[in-house]
Every structure is written in structure tokens, then in C-alpha cells.
Amino acid sequence: MAGSPVVLGIESSCDETGAGLVRDGVLLGHAVASSMDEHARFGGVVPEIAARAHVHAVAPVVQEALDRAGLVLADIGAVAVTAGPGLSGALQVGVAAAKSYAYALGVPLYGVHHLAGHVAAATLDGGPLPDPCIVLIVSGGHTSLLLVRDLARDPIVHLGDTLDDAAGECFDKVARILHLPYPGGPAIDRAARDGDPEAVRLPRPLSGPDDPPYAFSFSGLKTAAARWVEGQRSAGAEPHVPDAAAALQEAIADTLTRKAVRACTDHGIDTLVVVGGVAANSRIRALTEQRCAAAGITLRVPALRLCTDNGAMIAAIGDLLVRSGARPAPLDLSIDPSAPLEYAALSPRVRDRVA
Ligand code: KG4
Ligand code: ZN
């Protein structure tokens, strides 16, 4: 095939095994398998179970992505893989698989940052992101406001991060307190449809005039919600789950969108990109849309299926790296379970840091 190579992306940092194929910014096909059901009865992801599920799923998922794209293994021209952050056993499986494909096919390998993948997911719908743009990343483990220039080349500037829990963690933990199923975010989203967000008063963390404008904190909000639930139960009443869900969702959506819009206006940047699993939340999507429209900001949010973990986003960032002429990773690329988000590529930086 002429032009840029087809990039295979492999994702295995948590409980989703994803494979995607992207060429020149175009998604050709992808597939995702999830071990979520196997973790549900434990109320959270069990790393050993996740790692074993990846072992079983990775080759079939790559094959399914190829089938959907109408391609064969020999069409792959480069391989990108999530090298961190994530669960170490889970990451090992994806990286080992990616190395095998790259070695067997004789194509370059790229180790990428999972969160940069989430950002790149936004390019698969609306094309390249403008330089600069403001990015709000909201996932199970991270909540950050970023200033992003050229995603494949430039360092990523953190305007603010969460000081404690991530937004997704707050959804998941409160859902557990409310006896909603795992994962909690989608369960809260569903329950909130029948609830009144005004029925329970919950705080808007770090939103005062003297608070850091772009930093987040969700552990106090989680505690406030837990106290309300305990108060109801000790008074002999079961908490009204839809009201609690709606109030929590509103507090998180209000806080996230207010700070994200402020980051855009303060920096004179007219594009906001919202990515990560929590960007699938219906209220966060609706409120961001409304506030961006009011402030004259263009909003970019990936399609629902590309918000939660998948391989297409890893292929997307791999494709950007390939086209920007980035140096491939060595075949002894190592995982970095707690990799900070500094650059999209984790390799060869991982080696540089160790050397
Ligand atoms: O990005 P992601 O798939 O995995 C990580 O990299 O962490 O995000 C998972 C998080 C979980 O906390 C999950 O509860 C949350 O995204 N999530 C949602 C929704 N869908 C997924 N949170 C709120 N509303 C949703 N609809
Ligand atoms: Zn993720």
C-alpha cells in the first residue's frame, strides 16, 4: 500500500483488550473485549483476572479488528501499544503481544501513553486537533486539564490535576455505597435519569475564589455523598438512589465543565477536547456542550464507543507518531505502570530514563 502505513494499536492497561487499525487519521476497524463481568462480583478490577483475560483475548481481538477493516496481518505497517500507565500484569500482556507482531511482521514498534491515546481518540471523528487546544481528561484513574500543542511532538502542559480521587473513581465509589453495579459511572448515569439533582445538596470542590482554578479534588465530594447516604440509612430510610445519583452527577459535571471552560477563556483558546471514560457521561456531555456554546468555544468529544478504553485510540496516537517521524521503540521496550503524562510516546523515553 502506498502512503502512510496501517498502524495496529493494542490496548490492555485495565480490563479492556482493544485492537484498532488506523491509517492517515482514518479508523479502518477496531474491536474490544472486556473482562468487566468477571470483576463485577468483586466490585472492582482484579489485576490477575484482567491479565489472564488479556492473554486469552488479545490475538482474537486483533483478528476481529483486521476482519472488520477487511485487512490481513501483512497489511500492518507499524504497531503501537499502551506501555503505561495501568496495571502492570495487564500492560505486560499487550506489550508482549505488540512486540511479537512487530518482530514477526518486521515493522516498527511504538510504546505510547494511555492518556495520550484517549486524547487522540478525538481525532478519529473530527480530524486533527487545532494547535493549541485545552484538553479535559476524565477517566477512572486520572482527571487533568491540559494545554496540548502538537500531540505527537510537543510536551503536554498540565494546567491542573486532581489532588486526590479521579472523577471516575468518585462515580465508582459512590455507586458502590449506593449498591449500584460495577462499573459505577454508567450505573450512576442510568439511575440519574429519574432523579432530581437538587434533592441532595453536594459541594462543588475547589470552586471558591481563592482555590486553584484548574485543580480538582473529588474525595471530599465522595465523603459528602457517603455521609448523606449514611444519614438516610441511620434514620431508617433507604436513600433515594436516583436523586443521589443525579446530585452526584450534577456536582461532578458542574465542577469539571466550569473549570474546563475557564481554562479556555483564561488562555484565549477556542477549542475544548473532553476525553476519557467519564466523557461518556450524558450530563457531562450535555452541560459541556451548553457551556461551550455560550462561551463561543468549539467542543470536541469522541463518539461514545471511543471514550472508554479501546485499541482505536492507541492506533490513532501511533499513526500521529509515525507521521511525525517519531523514533520507534526498541524491542526490549518496558512497561511503565505509573508513567506521568509528559509526551505521547513512552518510548524510547522509558529507556532514556533508566539509562
Ligand atoms: O478511560 P476509562 O475507560 O478507563 C481508565 O483509563 O480509567 O474510564 C473508566 C471510567 C470508570 O471510572 C467508569 O465508571 C467511568 O469511566 N465511566 C463513566 C461512564 N462510562 C464510564 N462515568 C460516568 N458516566 C458514564 N456514562
Ligand atoms: Zn482509559
User: Which pLDDT score is estimated for 5?
Assistant: 98
Neighbour-count burial of 208, counting CB atoms closer than 10 A to its CB (0-12 exposed, 13-18 middle, 19+ buried): exposed
What percent of the chain has a predicted confidence (pLDDT) above 90? 94
pLDDT digits (tens, 9 = 90+) for 18-41: 999 999 999 999 999 999 999 988
User: Which pLDDT score is estimated for 282?
Assistant: 98
- Contact residues for 242 (Cβ-Cβ < 8 A; gap 6+): 191, 192, 193, 194, 195, 196
- 54-82 average pLDDT score: 98
262: pLDDT strictly greater than 60 = yes
- 190-212 average pLDDT score: 97
DSSP 333: -
User: Which pLDDT score is estimated for 354?
Assistant: 43
**Domain 6-121+307-352, CATH number (from 3.40.630.40, 3.40.50.800, 3.40.50.300, 3.30.420.40):** 3.30.420.40
| Phi, psi values for residue 187, rounded to 5° | -65, -40
User: Which pLDDT score is estimated for 350?
Assistant: 43
Mutating to test ligand 1, I would choose from 11, 17, 36, 278 the residue with most ligand atoms within 8 A of its C-beta, which is: 278
Helical H segments across the chain, by residue range: 36-40, 47-69, 88-105, 114-121, 123-126, 167-177, 184-192, 219-234, 241-267, 282-295, 312-323, 349-354
249: pLDDT strictly greater than 90 = yes
Average pLDDT, the chain: 96
User: Which pLDDT score is estimated for 2?
Assistant: 58
Instruction: Please say whether the beta carbons of 156 and 342 come within 8 A.
Output: yes
The atom number, within ligand 1, closest to the CA of 276 reads 1
* CATH 3.30.420.40 domain locations along the chain: 6-121+307-352, 128-301
196: pLDDT strictly greater than 80 = yes
| Cα distance from N-terminal residue to C-terminal residue, the chain | 37
Mutating to test ligand 1, I would choose from 13, 112, 221, 308 the residue with most ligand atoms within 8 A of its C-beta, which is: 308
Q: How many CB atoms lie within 10 A of CB 293?
A: 11
The atom number, within ligand 1, closest to the CA of 16 reads 3
195: pLDDT strictly greater than 90 = yes
User: Which pLDDT score is estimated for 353?
Assistant: 44
User: Which pLDDT score is estimated for 43?
Assistant: 83
d(CA 263, CA 179): 35
Q: Which residues line ligand 1 (CB under 6 A)?
A: 14, 139-141, 168, 171-172, 183-186, 189, 276-278, 280-281, 308-309
What percent of the chain has a predicted confidence (pLDDT) above 70? 97
Please give the distance, rounded to the nearest whole angstrom, from the Cα atom of residue 62 to the centre of ligand 2.
19
Selected residue with higher pLDDT from 352 and 46:
46
Q: Which CATH class is domain 128-301?
A: alpha beta
Exposure on the CB side of residue 277, measured as CA atoms within 13 A? 23
Which ligand gives the minimal distance to the CA of 142? 1
Identity of residue 153 = R
User: Which pLDDT score is estimated for 351?
Assistant: 42
Please give the distance, rounded to the nearest whole angstrom, from the Cα atom of residue 54 to the centre of ligand 2.
15
User: Which pLDDT score is estimated for 349?
Assistant: 53
User: Which pLDDT score is estimated for 38?
Assistant: 93
User: Which pLDDT score is estimated for 348?
Assistant: 59
Neighbour-count burial of 157, counting CB atoms closer than 10 A to its CB (0-12 exposed, 13-18 middle, 19+ buried): middle
From 5, 48, 13, select the one nearest 32 (Cα to Cα).
13
347: pLDDT strictly greater than 70 = no
DSSP 330: P
Selected residue with higher pLDDT from 349 and 229:
229
